[in-house]
Amino acid sequence: MDHDDHVELIRGGVTDAGQVWADLGAGRGAFTLALADLLPEGSRIYAVDRDEAALHANAREIRKQFPEAQVTYLRGDFTGSLRLPGLDGIVMANSLHFQRDQPAALATVCANLRPGGRLVLVEYNIERGNPAVPYPVPYRRWTELAAAAGFKATELLHRRPSRFLSEIYSALSR
């Protein structure tokens, strides 16, 4: 996938949805870049990841492609205590499938959302785990997890074939 694919996956959940967002499990920044491309000028993005080297790579790409973007980089585990302001939205792209206790992880994550906030999830639409995706979150399961976490509505945003694992999808939960 390239930058345009990343933008398309999250566009429907991000456009016109506030200016303070986090990319949880941001890694090298594919979806941090997509957020920087979609959010209006003056927005703030918090890129969170445990891997400091990945965050440095993320910062280099943001400076190169979106030098005006306001991004704060936080090294840490998004399932722990983070010092984030109330967020208008969160993007979690290929990060929830690493969490064994997904309901607990979501409870922690959702505590950072402002009332009416949005969570945009990007995951592989597979049922069986493997070393790359140990705890898969197929769309059917995501709708159940999102409802249990207190989201009132979940909608499928986009689906596309994956050259690695069948299909990747994005969903918006409010």
30 CB-near residues (< 8 Å, 6+ apart): 1, 3, 6, 93
List, for residues 69-119, the tens digit of each pLDDT value: 999 999 999 999 888 999 999 999 999 999 999 999 999 999 999 999 999
Q: What is the pTM of this model?
A: 0.96
List, for residues 32-54, the tens digit of each pLDDT value: 999 999 999 999 999 999 999 99
DSSP state, residue 24: E
Contact call for residues 121 and 52 (beta carbons, < 8 A): no
Helix (H) / strand (E) element for 60: namely helix 52-65
